[in-house]
Amino acid sequence: MFKERPAKVSLLLRDKLAKQSISREEIRAVYQAGEAAVIELVESLSEQHKELVEQLLEQQSGLEARIKALEDQRQKDSRNSSKPPSGDGFKKRTKSLRKKSERPSGGQKGHPGSTLEWREEVDGVVTHAVEACDRCGKSLGRAAVIEHECRQVHELPPLRLQVIEHRAQIKSCPHCEAVSRGVFPSEVNSQVQYGSSVRGLMVYLMDAQLLPSDRVCEVLKEVFECEVSEGTLYNARAKCFEGLASVEQRIKASLEQAEVAHFDETGFRVKRQLWWLHVASTAQLTYYFVHDRRGRIAIDEMDILPNFSGISVHDGWASYFLYECVHALCNAHHLRELRFIVERYEQPWAQQMITLLCEIKAQVDSAKANGQQALSAAQLIDFEQQYQSILMQGFEANPPPPVELDKPKPPGRTKQSPPQNLLARLDRHDTPVLSFMFDFRVPFDNNQAERDIRMMKLKQKISGCFRSEVGAQQFCRIRGYISTLRKQGMSVLDALISTFTNIPISPVFQPE
């Protein structure tokens, strides 16, 4: 018969099991302590082994999920996700969502082209005289000119600054002897200063051509022999910023009244921290807003969507759906995500959805070209049924994970795979996804906002982050003005010069 195990053996066993090690002598001591001690040892080892297996399985599951996520990330590029093309590196691109055009490359037949044209009015004439006969060498100085062979050269005039002195007359009245003085123009307010054209060019080079300030100084010095400091450039930008306050407010007010407006946001580096650049735009207007937040707080302070009652086109960011307006989603994003599902998970439903969305777009484009105002009721019903049928196939291919009743549900939402996330979005927001089909005012994608934001990202690549919030705000206001002018075909340089005359050129504010 086994003897009962003493208390000190139980403590020793517990300590050794906790350290996951036990020697032969200690096993022998347990054996000598009796049957109960051996049973406890085996049960403890069994329980410990069970816990260890569960831990290993949990770690394995976590590692598998992590490996899968890393593989998903590795398979993403600008073709099948929202990653920019600059992140693709030198990987060869073998597929594209764009179909090959039937037209040959280069200029198309009937295209007017652009070349230098002969002008009837010229700014100057240089005559090349004939001094002697090419055959006999006799002088032709007094010979009459039969005709001229003409060629025209388009050339820049000598580039240099002009110094213009403004003189205000001072006169004494012969009747009352009061002294009266002439009035300088409002933009002439210092003893010595740069004119509106020079300051307009400074802002143009920095904010339209996106040159860093040191390179702007270099251009001005080499081209115009004008040596300026960076402080002068930033003072010119601050003056331009102040002069555009009312124009910016009118752009913003017009966007609030637009029937269809595009919204987007992107990371923006300010003071070495991640801020966010928000954009609201149409085909004619652009408004930029910089904030240290991305979601509702920033959108509320931007103060366009809270007052907007038209159709908001965006990429599906959850914060946009918090506002009571009609929503339309960017299908260019959906096509890229569906392409990722096809390439990474090889699921047929995703390719079918790509085909369907492209087919609907082709039908809508054809209807617009033919002057139709909408698709037929039969077409709409057919496309909706195909859409729902494809979603059902997708849900069947991606069932939810089984519920384990013996385990408590972890807090938060259940983690889903990329196909499940995309299917849920396409199902939940089916009307915003297909809004371009129901309303021809709605575009297929949100490329308008993405194009408007692209140049702002280029500014960051060239010059790095903004040193202050004020500098970022100045750039956003001026760049929004420049973008609006370019959309409306107006001269950017002339408009920037006008901001220094206190009468800035105004774009057309009628919303679209």
pLDDT number for residue 197: 93
Q: How confident is the model over 421-428, as a mean pLDDT?
A: 95
pLDDT number for residue 42: 79
Q: Is 5 left (phi over 0), alpha (psi -120 to 50) or beta?
A: beta
Could you give the percent of the chain with pLDDT greater than 90?
Answer: 64
DSSP per residue over 305-337, as a string?
Answer: GGG--SEEEE---GGGGGSSSEEEE-HHHHHHH
Least confident of 208-222, 321-335, 410-424: 410-424
Q: What are phi and psi of 273, to 5 degrees?
A: -125, 160
Least confident of 42-56, 119-133, 374-388: 42-56
Neighbours of 84 (CB within 10 A): 12
Q: Are 89 and 74 in contact (CB under 8 A)?
A: no
Does residue 86 surpass a pLDDT of 60?
no
**Distance (Å) of CA 262 to CA 47, 149, 332:** 60, 56, 14
Beta bridge partners of 262: 281, 313
Rg (CA), the chain: 37
Q: How confident is the model over 314-319, as a mean pLDDT?
A: 94
pLDDT number for residue 27: 75
Q: What is the pLDDT of residues 177-197, one digit of tens each?
A: 899 999 998 888 889 999 999
Neighbours of 5 (CB within 10 A): 22
Q: What are phi and psi of 19, to 5 degrees?
A: -85, 0
pLDDT number for residue 465: 84
Q: How confident is the model at residue 37 (pLDDT cuts 50, 70, 90)?
A: confident
pLDDT number for residue 82: 62
Does residue 97 surpass a pLDDT of 60?
no
Does residue 332 surpass a pLDDT of 90?
yes
pLDDT number for residue 4: 46
Q: How confident is the model over 382-411, as a mean pLDDT?
A: 86
Q: What is the pLDDT of residues 496-505, one digit of tens each?
A: 999 998 889 9
Least confident of 30-39, 145-154, 178-187: 30-39
pLDDT number for residue 2: 42
Q: What is the pLDDT of residues 459-470, one digit of tens each?
A: 888 888 899 999
pLDDT number for residue 103: 72
Q: What are phi and psi of 133, to 5 degrees?
A: -70, 135
Q: How confident is the model over 348-354, as a mean pLDDT?
A: 96
Single pTM value for the model:
0.78
Q: Are 243 and 477 in contact (CB under 8 A)?
A: no
Q: How confident is the model over 116-126, as a mean pLDDT?
A: 91
Least confident of 76-85, 357-366, 457-466: 76-85
Does residue 247 surpass a pLDDT of 60?
yes
Does residue 492 surpass a pLDDT of 50?
yes
pLDDT number for residue 294: 93
Q: Which of 182, 323, 208 is nearest to 263 (CA)?
A: 323
pLDDT number for residue 3: 45
Q: How confident is the model at residue 83 (pLDDT cuts 50, 70, 90)?
A: low
Q: How confident is the model over 457-483, as a mean pLDDT?
A: 92
CA-CA distance, 215 to 381, in Å (whole number)? 59
Q: State the chain's mean pLDDT as an integer.
A: 87
For residue 150, the one-letter residue type is: C
Check residues 108 and 125 and name the one with the higher pLDDT: 125
pLDDT number for residue 265: 95
Residue 453 tokens, joined: 């934001």
- The second-level CATH assignment, the architecture, of 241-329+447-501 is 2-Layer Sandwich (3.30)
What is the helix (H) or strand (E) element at residue 287, kind and residue range?
Answer: strand 286-291
E-strand ranges in 383-428 read none
Q: How confident is the model over 48-68, as a mean pLDDT?
A: 75
**Distance (Å) of CA 350 to CA 71, 97, 314, 322, 426:** 19, 13, 21, 28, 11
Neighbours of 325 (CB within 10 A): 16
Q: How confident is the model over 231-258, as a mean pLDDT?
A: 95
Q: Where in the chain is the domain with CATH 3.30.420?
A: 241-329+447-501
Does residue 60 surpass a pLDDT of 80?
no
Q: What is the pLDDT of residues 263-290, one digit of tens each?
A: 999 999 999 999 999 999 999 999 999 9
Q: How confident is the model at residue 5 (pLDDT cuts 50, 70, 90)?
A: very low
